[in-house]
Structure 1
Amino acid sequence: MNNKPTLHTSLSPALLHLYDVRDSIVVIIDVLRATSTIATALYNGAKSIIPVDSVARCIELGNQMDAITAGERDGKVAEGLTYGNSPFEYPREFIADKTLVLTTTNGTKLLHMALNNGAPTVITGSFPNLSAVCDFLVKENRNVILGCAAWKDRFNLEDTLFAGAVISRIKENFHINCDSSQMAETLYLKGKTDLYEFMREKNASHYHRLNGFGLEKDIRYCLTPDGANVLPFYEDGRLVVHGK
């Protein structure tokens, strides 16, 4: 009898309903750029991040709490918000001890879907906090769903590569009978020596989109492990550093 916890990968928010999140840790993955930015802001001392699914709610909460309002739609700063979704917008001297209200095209939407479906534990994952995610999942020894935010419900490469990176590190601790997890690991192992070059070579849609906005620096940062190695943990309506 196999008594290891299970691990599954949902390649898109449109597929999340196929998985029972109610007894699992759900990892929200939106590498370019929401979850990379969340990890970076918290690593740089943000008090908390409140993820919301609409620009209007973002502005409303920002006014109520005197918080920083930020977010993007289709890769650009959302209309009505001051700041966007680049990790470089949140250095320590700007974000330390502040609350950030954030809305993004894909990542915050998926986070709310997981919560609405009854997920008891939600964390966010990206290459900048890869080790923190892996260490937490192994230590907790519970079922895991790696949830890729994708792009408007369409599969994307970078979130799947991150899922594969997690799987390649922790698979010995889990029972994995999941074809999307096998595929994610295969892709990661193929591209891991230079993820940026792999994305470029495959002409990945999100690479193409962000490069069109001159955001090569963002892409490279978001594909580099452990530059902001903290664990964003969702509790009481906000993301905070786990164990802090």
Structure 2
Amino acid sequence: MTEHNKPTLEVCLSPALLHLYDVKNSIVVIIDVLRATSTICTALYNGAAKIIPVASVEECVSIGRQLGAITAGERDGKIAEGLLHGNSPFEYPRDFIENKTIVLTTTNGTKLLHMAKDAIQIITGSFPNISAVCDYLVAQQQNVILGCAAWKDRVNMEDTLFAGAVVSRIKSHFHMNCDSALAAETLYNTAKPDVYKFMQGASHFQRLAKFGLEKDIRYCLTPDGANVLPLLKNGELIVG
């Protein structure tokens, strides 16, 4: 395959930039490393039946009530008022979550999921499932947009680093003409020797560390702890 026949690989650093990308003709990977997409793959890895991502807390409560599901989510790093569970991967061990449905709302990640709804396929990615994500993207041979959830539309470190890690693994299979993909990969290569240490200067690290969540952060930055592929089908995230 010549370089030009290869599918394209692009990185969108913020939901505010998504309208500049050809979502309809791409697979979109939703990236919200701290902590939505890390928690999604962990809950599915531990046997959750499905996860229903919703935009608002009200919707989360009402759908949860209808389905008798677990309602979960955060606003600004804390459990959202009115919900029983938060956004920590450690809240969803197998003995709690197996065969159950979660309705999930987050500050940034679920919003981006809904914005990307016209994509060929939507999957979610984070370090705990990086190998599953990369294997899937290479196998599909479709255009890819790595979509960072960011923080309230501002570019953030952890999602950019994950996008860069994916780019560094799979770029030989794609045509890449995207400065943000290049920037993300360069940043990741700088951070790679110790991603956790590199992240300590980042705003979201400091936000979560204030709540004593360093253990969450370390888990969310560690590859392949929950190596399954969450796929969005009919508005529900299931294991692909």
The amino acid that maps onto 2:190 is K
Taking only aligned residues, the RMSD between alpha carbons, in angstroms, comes to: 0.5
The amino acid that maps onto 1:188 is Y
SS at match of 2:62: helix
1:62-109 superposed Cα distances (whole Å, 9 cap, x missing partner): 000000000000000000000000000000000000000000000000
User: How much does 1:237 deviate?
Assistant: 1.3
1:135-158 superposed Cα distances (whole Å, 9 cap, x missing partner): 000000100000000000000000
Structure 1 position 217 matched with structure 2 position 218: no
Alignment of 1:65-76 (within 5 A): 65-76=67-78
SS at match of 1:9: strand
Alignment of 1:59-98 (within 5 A): 59-98=61-100
Instruction: Pick one of 223, 226, 231 that aligns with 2:224.
Output: 226
SS at match of 2:165: helix
Tell me which residue corresponds to 2:51.
Answer: 49
SS at match of 1:146: strand
- Cα distance in structure 2, aligned partners of 1:34 and 1:84: 10
The amino acid that maps onto 1:209 is R
Tell me which residue corresponds to 2:114.
Answer: 112
Alignment of 1:198-217 (within 5 A): 198-200=198-200, 203-217=201-215
User: How much does 1:183 deviate?
Assistant: 0.3
The amino acid that maps onto 1:19 is Y
User: How much does 1:119 deviate?
Assistant: 1.0
- Cα distance in structure 2, aligned partners of 1:193 and 1:222: 16
Tell me which residue corresponds to 2:194.
Answer: 194
1:199-221 superposed Cα distances (whole Å, 9 cap, x missing partner): 11xx1000010001100000000
The amino acid that maps onto 2:229 is L
The amino acid that maps onto 2:100 is K
SS at match of 2:145: strand
Tell me which residue corresponds to 1:160.
Answer: 160
The amino acid that maps onto 2:109 is G
- Cα distance in structure 1, aligned partners of 2:119 and 2:55: 17
User: How much does 1:120 deviate?
Assistant: 2.1
Tell me which residue corresponds to 1:14.
Answer: 16
Give ranges in structure 2 of 5+ residues lacking alignment. none
Give ranges in structure 1 of 5+ residues lacking alignment. none
- Count of matched residue pairs: 238
User: How much does 1:167 deviate?
Assistant: 0.4
Identity of aligned residues (%): 73
Q: TM-score by structure 2 length?
A: 0.99
- Cα distance in structure 1, aligned partners of 2:204 and 2:235: 29
Structure 1 position 148 matched with structure 2 position 148: yes
SS at match of 1:17: helix
The amino acid that maps onto 1:176 is M
1:15-62 superposed Cα distances (whole Å, 9 cap, x missing partner): 000001001000000000000000000000000000000000000000
- Cα distance in structure 2, aligned partners of 1:20 and 1:174: 16
- Cα distance in structure 1, aligned partners of 2:27 and 2:223: 21
SS at match of 1:160: helix
